[in-house]
């Protein structure tokens, strides 16, 4: 042991391990912290020093509508993903192995498929003459094609599709760790299936439900690609607004202010998540 | 009861039906795209009136698609290599070191993954405007490296923490130099972490679209940017062909990953 300690300490200076993190640190400082800090600072310096950008952003009905859209879509996506994701995660945890591995492969395939390819598929599926409208009309459920793209309905469908795996995979891990004996005990004590679900299984799965929901909500708030393609220009969300300020309007002050709003909400929710469930959530 | 599939009674069927429907929902767009890429209808009518490989011919006849794919590949390979290298070195420092602020640094390195990518895209775009890196391969590599590095650091710190360091010490006791011990004992032992880091970094860069949209120039664009700008004009079936090829690539990567995982278990 003495020899070992000797060899470890003789390898280098005490700061050697700190030095090893230097390349990563330089990258993060110069190409992450610095650019973000510059962008945010422009929100209070352009066009003139002060908080005008924030006053305009939080005071105008146009922008408030965009905040509302973002919040609405993110909430809907989170709730629908949970409603779909919970039974699937539950079933995956208890189904025969062969079957559950097939479903798992499908989940991973959908998650790993290029985002634009998936969004393109929904653009085609949901268009006026698309398969969904044709099927519904063929079945006689509707007689006019529904408007499913270029509005928030399309965005919600497309984003739910993307987010479901992010609920199912972690939640499945949480449910699998629950001891089946606890539910047997509930049954022995006379609980019906509904009671056992409501009073035992869901409360035990709650950490997984909350952390998954929070993660999906945070991801949805800042989503850019799917809302931009499925939502059309009239139904903007926050990420598109930031892009528009910078790309089309060249208004860096407002862009920085909108970025700060998005960033603060994201960070606050992330810190809440870490506080509640630990860093692994 | 509720956690035993066989004693679920009628609920068993309800759950099975839900799972089948969700699986169908997840598969639907992927299968649909693949079918449409062979459909003869310019307007993406389904079921297609006939079958054709025209869209694949169009795709390969247009040099800008191949050029974009080649650009993406070069960038993704560079990002993957640098991300594993920088991530490995940093992970050694984070896991083996005992300097103050270690937990803080670790958190800092993961942050780009949590931050909404559009904020980073706008920030980097503005920064690159000043230093002239927009529309350059180096610019793409740096920007993608920022978002890929967290995956490497997560995969490699986990792998290094699971690795029993006394094995490396044993090699040193047997006469290996510390560097040789790391190279010949530690690295092979954490190969699954290295592999995961490489593949996640590759995919992060290969599929990345938001940073790329901002940084792309008319002469240098990645494959996702090419798809994006085509999509904004119309829903041509050529994109279905390109998407189908991307889906095939995903399946191949998944099979490789599964094979590697299986090989590790043996």
> In angstroms, what separates the C-alpha of A88 from chain B's closest C-alpha?
5
A3 assigned to some structural domain: no
Q: Give the range of the structural domain holding residue A206, as residue numbers without chain letter.
A: 50-277
Least confident of A85-89, B2-6, B21-25, B244-248: B2-6
pLDDT tens sequence across A158-168: 999 999 999 99
> Among B130, B107, B113, B145, which residue's Cα sits nearest to residue A42?
B130
| Set of chain B residues whose Cβ sits within 8 Å of the Cβ of A38 | 123, 126-127
Q: What is the CATH number of the domain that holds A154?
A: 1.10.3720.10
| Contact at CB, B143 and A31, closer than 8 angstroms | yes
The predicted pLDDT at position B266 comes to: 62
Per CATH, domain B56-265 is 1.10.1200.10: no
Task: Write out the residue limits of the CATH 1.10.3720.10 domain(s) in chain B.
Answer: 56-265
> Does the pLDDT at position A4 exceed 90?
no
| Contact at CB, B18 and A91, closer than 8 angstroms | yes
Counted residue by residue, chain B has a size of: 266
A176 assigned to some structural domain: yes
Tokens describing residue B35? 């079918």
Cα–Cα dist A167/A159, whole Å: 13
| Contact at CB, B33 and A120, closer than 8 angstroms | yes
Cα–Cα dist A76/A278, whole Å: 26
Assess contact for B119 and A223: CB atoms under 8 A: no
> In angstroms, what separates the C-alpha of B96 from chain A's closest C-alpha?
7
Cα–Cα dist A127/A154, whole Å: 9
**Domain count across chain A:** 1
pLDDT mean over B137-149: 97
> Among B86, B228, B78, B81, which residue's Cα sits nearest to residue B140?
B78
| Set of chain A residues whose Cβ sits within 8 Å of the Cβ of B109 | 21, 24, 28
Other beta carbons within 10 Å of A271: 10
> Among A257, A248, A263, which residue's Cα sits nearest to residue A50?
A257
> Among B176, B93, B173, B46, which residue's Cα sits nearest to residue A126?
B46
The predicted pLDDT at position B65 comes to: 94
| Contact at CB, A21 and B227, closer than 8 angstroms | no
A43 assigned to some structural domain: no
pLDDT mean over B100-125: 92
- pTM across the whole model: 0.89
A44 assigned to some structural domain: no
- Give the 3-state secondary structure of residue B43: coil
A110 assigned to some structural domain: yes
As beta bridge partners, residue B217 has B220
* CA A100 to each of CA A136, B130, B216: distance values in angstroms, whole numbers, following the listed order: 31, 52, 41
Residues with Cβ within 8 Å of A101's Cβ and at least 6 positions away in sequence, in order, are: none
A39 assigned to some structural domain: no
pLDDT tens sequence across B11-70: 888 899 999 999 999 999 999 999 999 998 888 887 888 899 999 999 999 999 999 999
pLDDT tens sequence across A144-191: 898 998 899 999 999 999 999 999 999 999 999 998 888 888 888 988
């Amino acid at each position: 042991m003495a020899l070992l300690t000797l060899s470890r300490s003789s390898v280098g200076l005490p700061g050697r391990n700190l030095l090893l993190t230097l390349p990563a640190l330089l990258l993060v400082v110069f190409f992450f912290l610095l650019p973000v800090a510059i962008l945010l600072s422009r929100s209070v310096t352009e066009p003139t020093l002060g908080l005008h950008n924030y006053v305009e952003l939080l005071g105008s009905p146009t922008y408030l509508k965009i905040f509302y859209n973002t919040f609405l879509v993110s909430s809907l996506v989170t709730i629908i993903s949970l409603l779909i994701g919970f039974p699937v995660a539950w079933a995956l945890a208890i189904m025969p192995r062969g079957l559950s591995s097939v479903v798992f492969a499908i989940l991973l395939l959908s998650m790993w498929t290029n985002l634009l390819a998936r969004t393109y598929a929904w653009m085609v599926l949901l268009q006026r003459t698309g398969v969904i409208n044709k099927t519904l009309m063929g079945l006689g459920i509707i007689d006019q094609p529904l408007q499913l793209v270029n509005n928030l309905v399309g965005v919600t469908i497309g984003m739910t599709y993307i987010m479901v795996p992010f609920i199912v995979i972690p939640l499945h891990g949480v449910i699998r760790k629950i001891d089946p004996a606890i539910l047997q005990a509930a049954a022995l004590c006379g609980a019906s299936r509904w009671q056992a679900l409501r009073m035992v299984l869901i409360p035990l799965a709650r950490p997984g439900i909350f952390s998954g929901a929070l993660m999906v909500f945070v991801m949805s708030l800042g989503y850019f690609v799917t809302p931009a393609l499925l939502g059309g220009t009239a139904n903007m969300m926050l990420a598109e607004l930031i892009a528009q300020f910078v790309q089309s309007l060249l208004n860096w002050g407002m862009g920085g202010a909108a970025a700060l709003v998005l960033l603060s909400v994201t960070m606050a929710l992330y810190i809440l998540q870490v506080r509640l469930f630990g860093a692994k959530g | 009861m509720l956690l035993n599939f066989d004693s679920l009674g009628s609920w068993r069927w309800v759950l099975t039906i839900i799972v089948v429907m969700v699986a169908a929902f997840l598969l639907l767009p992927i299968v649909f795209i693949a079918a449409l890429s062979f459909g003869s209808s310019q307007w993406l009518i389904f079921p297609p009136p006939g079958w054709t490989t025209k869209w694949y011919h169009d795709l390969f006849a247009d040099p800008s698609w191949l050029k974009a794919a080649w650009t993406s590949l070069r960038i993704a390979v560079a990002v993957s290599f640098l991300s594993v290298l920088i991530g490995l070195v940093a992970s050694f420092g984070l896991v083996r070191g005992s300097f103050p602020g270690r937990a803080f640094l670790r958190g800092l390195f993961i942050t780009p993954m949590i931050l909404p990518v559009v904020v980073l895209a706008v920030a980097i775009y503005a920064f690159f405007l000043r230093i002239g890196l927009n529309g350059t391969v180096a610019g793409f590599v740096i920007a993608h490296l920022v978002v890929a590095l967290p995956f490497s650091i997560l995969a490699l710190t986990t792998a290094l923490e699971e690795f029993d360091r006394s094995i490396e010490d044993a090699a040193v006791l047997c006469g290996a130099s510390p560097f040789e011990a790391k190279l010949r004992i530690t690295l092979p032992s954490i190969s699954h972490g290295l592999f995961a880091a490489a593949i996640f970094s590759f995919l992060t860069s290969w599929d990345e679209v938001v940073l790329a949209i901002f940084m792309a120039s008319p002469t240098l664009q990645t494959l996702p940017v090419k798809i994006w700008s085509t999509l904004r004009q119309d829903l041509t079936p050529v994109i279905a062909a390109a998407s189908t090829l991307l889906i095939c690539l995903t399946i191949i990567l998944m099979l490789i990953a599964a094979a590697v995982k299986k090989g590790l278990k043996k």
